[in-house]
Structure 1
Amino acid sequence: MIYTGVDGEKVFSVEKPFLKKDWRATKKLGKKICVIPSDLCLVKVEQAFSKKISEIKSFYTLDVEERYGRVNWDVSLYNDLVFLGVYRNFAAQDCFNVELEVFALARVLQVLGYQDGYLLDMGRRKTTLVKCEEGLLKSYRVILKGGDYLTDVVSQKRGITKEHAERWKIEKGLELEEVLQGIKHILSSVGLSAESEPLILSGGGSKTKGLKDLLPRAESHHFCEPELTSAFGASLKFIVKNPYPDFVKRELTDKELKVSAILAATSMSLFFASYLLLGFLWSSQKMESVEREEFKKTFPNEPIVSLYDQVKSKVSTGEPYELTKKLSELTKRVKQGVKIYSIEFAEGSLRIKGEGKEEVVSLMKPQKVKKTPTGSVEFELEIK
């Protein structure tokens, strides 16, 4: 399997041989994993209030929409930590999956074997600092100042063109006082001191002449050119295990949907059969007497009806179980070609979320629809 991290125009691919744990870099292109720039992301690491991912997702569904509106997001649970990832204003076209740049950079530290450390990524228009503790992302900081900012400072201070300033910056680096002060300002803004260790440098800005003299404990990594670090980290998303949100939509196929309905019907049949069987096995005068006494204590004003008689009455009416009936109706409403992402049964209603072509979804008469950037529509269908 080949995965390709895509960071703008920069790409990096890795190949994982079948049935082997190792991976290697390759020039071939595979499934594209697009990097969402760190300034378009929001990542939070918080203490979990529950051990159930379903409860956590329900909470963040309301919290994220209330705080940030309609955005793309995902959440994951690892031990007692919740990792929340949010991004907006990014069209993920022709991408197998996406990866937030913050998670991609944290994964690079993981691959390098650092349990605790920093990674400073200095690009042309921004600088990102990622901090990991005990092998996991702890925090990060992003400022919209990078190589272009340093070029502008030189241009303004020296009164020269940006093209001339760019050449001087590359040739002299921190020998220019403007570049030195600009770098110090960037490091201070992201909260990094010269004593921070260990520190990995990445991004085109890490090549700035004299930077390693300013940060003597800083190191580079050998896996790829510094400019490709984010793409490299993204390419390993499905190869190097980590607990971060994966932004993978889980969907139920038509076959799985039908199997769910069959299993539900079978389970309820077994449920009723077990009650009937117990009634036959334990029916005796003594048992009926105890049953009547307990029923009278609980319901003193109601006529005495044994549990066996109640179950028998329920079954004899031919009334189907509520969930089974709704699943049966769902199989009739859902059309061929749509994707089902979730099914929820609560308070007597069956709620389904999914995606499909607009002309197909409209035939299902859903309660809510929303167009996606890819031209399809997401829908919510409720069967009461």
Structure 2
Amino acid sequence: MRYTGVDVNKLYSIDYSPLRGEWKPTGRSGRKIYVVPSHLTYVRIGETEITDLHDLRRHLALEVEERFGNPLWDVRLSGNLYCLALVRDFEPPEDSYALDPEVFSLARVATALGEEDCFVLDLGRHKTTLVEVKGAQLLSYRVVLKGGNFIDQLLSRELGLKPEEAERIRIEEGLKREAVRSAFERILESLGRDLSEEKVLLSGGLSRLRNIEEYFGTVLRNRYVDPELNSAFGAALKYVYRDCSPDFRGEELSHRDVKKVALVLSFSFLLFLGANLGLHLTEKRVLSGIRAVEKEKFREVFPGLPPMAVRDQVRSMVSAERYPLTEKLIKASGILKEGVKLYRIEYGNGVLRIVGEVSDKSVLEGTEARSLKKTPAGGYEFEVELR
């Protein structure tokens, strides 16, 4: 199976073998799983006593409509936990196989790296997303609309620089520059979480800032892809590392519905078998009656012969195998006319050779006879070969 994670214009594809439980990167495109940006999604994970997905959907539908209007939403049920995901201002592309809220894509990167408990910090151009992963599952997240552009704007305003010059300073000098450091710390403060002693997986283009590692306890990097590709990478692995993330592919069948479908299919199969058996028995009775009539009519016409249905005679003629010699003898009987004396018949290497005598050469017309010799008795000796 092949999947492609799509994050705007960034793509990452994998080949996945469910039987072996293995995946590997590929350059070929597969089923497209589109990343929904974190600032366009709302995700809630909670406990529920409802065990049927269909009932849970009906239960949540009223709340979603009252609080959010009519957004695109989906829910996934796993044990006593459910995950509700809503999407706004995002139209699923026609070629989408599934959607993946970005917070799940980022959390899945940690799982792919074997990290069950850590933070994933995605530092982009326009926003910053912090995801907390616990037990290889998304626990919480926070999104702030500040990223690389926010730092560039502060530099431009405070230092009187053009946007291009501010961006150059951010990239080349990084956190060595006090103004860049101050702006970056304001982004971290907006997240409302102290990460100075935490294990943090860095993601996004802004994570390339020089000296960024000093702000965190332990820094992790994705060894498979560049920081900018992490969201697409995580989305491509959606069906490899299963989690509670909805996929927006339509309502799944609940266990109750699956049982109903199974019962209906089983009953339909039994009806099918019963109908086939009934037709077979009916056909057998009808054919037996027809063949009995055929044999009776045969006995009336040919009283001295054993009764045999006409269809049995035809079948025996059709199924009888004709050997090459038989075919050639039949052909010879068709070309040799009455009045021919046969002296010798030979067959070898697929050739039938007939030697005989006729009193008149006209009898041999059309036979392609060879070695035509006149005999003392006034006849003609001939030889015919059939290949």
Question: Normalising by the residue count of structure 1, what TM-score does the alignment of the two structures yield?
Answer: 0.64
Give the residue type in structure 2 aligned to 1:40: L
Give the residue type in structure 1 aligned to 2:237: L
Counterpart residue number, 2:122: 121
Counterpart residue number, 1:79: 79
1:174 aligns with 2:168: no
Aligned in 2, Cα 1:160/1:65: closer, same or farther, shift over 3 Å?
same
Within-5 A mapping of 1:17-28: 17=17, 19-28=19-28
Superposed CA deviations along residues 99-142 of structure 1, whole A, max 9, x for unmatched, are 11011111111112222210000000000000012221111000
Counterpart residue number, 1:51: 51
Partner Cα separation in structure 2 for residue 11 and residue 235 of structure 1: 9
Within-5 A mapping of 1:321-360: none
Partner Cα separation in structure 2 for residue 226 and residue 261 of structure 1: 46
Matched residue SS, 1:11: strand
Counterpart residue number, 1:339: none
Question: Normalising by the residue count of structure 2, what TM-score does the alignment of the two structures yield?
Answer: 0.64
Within-5 A mapping of 1:28-177: 28-93=28-93, 94-177=95-178
Superposed CA deviations along residues 221-240 of structure 1, whole A, max 9, x for unmatched, are 21100000000000011222
1:237 aligns with 2:228: no
Superposed CA deviations along residues 271-315 of structure 1, whole A, max 9, x for unmatched, are xxxxxxxxxxxxxxxxxxxxxxxxxxxxxxxxxxxxxxxxxxxxx
Counterpart residue number, 2:362: none
Aligned in 2, Cα 1:49/1:194: closer, same or farther, shift over 3 Å?
same
Partner Cα separation in structure 2 for residue 203 and residue 90 of structure 1: 21
The worse-fitting range, judged by mean Cα deviation, of 190-199 and 91-100 is: 190-199
Partner Cα separation in structure 2 for residue 25 and residue 242 of structure 1: 21
Partner Cα separation in structure 2 for residue 123 and residue 11 of structure 1: 16
Partner Cα separation in structure 2 for residue 113 and residue 261 of structure 1: 38
Within-5 A mapping of 1:145-294: 145-250=146-251, 263=264
Partner Cα separation in structure 1 for residue 113 and residue 266 of structure 2: 52
Matched residue SS, 1:120: strand
Partner Cα separation in structure 1 for residue 133 and residue 252 of structure 2: 33
Contact kept, 8 Å, 1:75 with 1:83, in 2: the verdict is yes
Partner Cα separation in structure 2 for residue 134 and residue 54 of structure 1: 27
The worse-fitting range, judged by mean Cα deviation, of 117-126 and 80-89 is: 80-89
Matched residue SS, 1:16: strand
Q: Which runs of 5+ in 2 are unaligned?
A: 272-387
CA-atom RMSD in angstroms: 2.6
Partner Cα separation in structure 2 for residue 245 and residue 261 of structure 1: 25
Aligned-pair CA distance for 1:81: 1.7
Aligned-pair CA distance for 1:261: 12
Aligned in 2, Cα 1:251/1:21: closer, same or farther, shift over 3 Å?
closer
Aligned-pair CA distance for 1:18: 6.9
Partner Cα separation in structure 2 for residue 62 and residue 17 of structure 1: 40
Q: How many pairs does the alignment contain?
A: 264
Aligned-pair CA distance for 1:265: 12
Contact kept, 8 Å, 2:143 with 2:191, in 1: the verdict is yes
Contact kept, 8 Å, 1:73 with 1:84, in 2: the verdict is yes
Counterpart residue number, 1:306: none
Give the residue type in structure 2 aligned to 1:263: V
Aligned in 2, Cα 1:84/1:184: closer, same or farther, shift over 3 Å?
same
Aligned in 2, Cα 1:260/1:219: closer, same or farther, shift over 3 Å?
closer
The worse-fitting range, judged by mean Cα deviation, of 127-136 and 11-20 is: 11-20
Matched residue SS, 1:29: coil
Partner Cα separation in structure 1 for residue 79 and residue 101 of structure 2: 21
Structure 1 segments of 4 or more deviating over 4 A?
A: 259-262, 264-267
Contact kept, 8 Å, 1:121 with 1:203, in 2: the verdict is yes
Give the residue type in structure 2 aligned to 1:175: K
Matched residue SS, 2:140: strand
Matched residue SS, 2:99: strand
Partner Cα separation in structure 2 for residue 104 and residue 33 of structure 1: 10
Matched residue SS, 2:33: strand
Matched residue SS, 1:154: helix
Identity percentage over the alignment?
39
Aligned-pair CA distance for 1:191: 2.3
Partner Cα separation in structure 2 for residue 107 and residue 153 of structure 1: 33
Contact kept, 8 Å, 1:48 with 1:77, in 2: the verdict is no
